[in-house]
Amino acid sequence: LEDLYKKVVLDHYRRPRHREPLRAPDAEIPGLNPVCGDSIVLQVRWRERVLEEIAFFGRGCTLCLASGSILAEWVRGRDLDGVRAALAAFERRMAGDETGPPVPEAVAALAGVLAYPARIECVRLGWRALAEAVARAGDARGG
């Protein structure tokens, strides 16, 4: 897991996915980790109940930016319930629980951060912003 963790994190940090800001996002959620200084923006655009576009960008450590890239790659194209399920699966992994539905290899690799408790919030920052975007979309759409 440690080798996979390093490989996946470095790949997403060096070649981030979904880093270009969206032209007309439905929501823009800033995130800040005051402990280490990570500062991110997550933008989403919904089409009906489907996450049509997502962007994740900002300044942060390798873990924060790689995690945002992994997040965006996994949830783009999912419907609102699918994004909620992805968030729940991610949180299970961050709690050390490997049971439940399978997750992509890159998401599973993020659990390697559990060996470094002080860095867990770096990995979670973008996911917390996504949870806020989902809450807003659910409120706006009545569910």
Question: What is the band of 89 on the pLDDT scale with cuts at 50, 70, 90?
Answer: very high
9 pLDDT above the threshold of 60? yes
Question: What is the band of 3 on the pLDDT scale with cuts at 50, 70, 90?
Answer: confident
Portion of the chain with pLDDT greater than 90, in percent: 80
Q: Cα(71)–Cα(130) distance, rounded to whole angstroms?
A: 9
SS3 110: helix
DSSP 30-79: EEEETTTTEEEEEEEEEETTEEEEEEEEEE--HHHHHHHHHHHHHHTT-B
Which residues does residue 42 pair with via DSSP β-bridges, in sequence order?
A: 29, 56
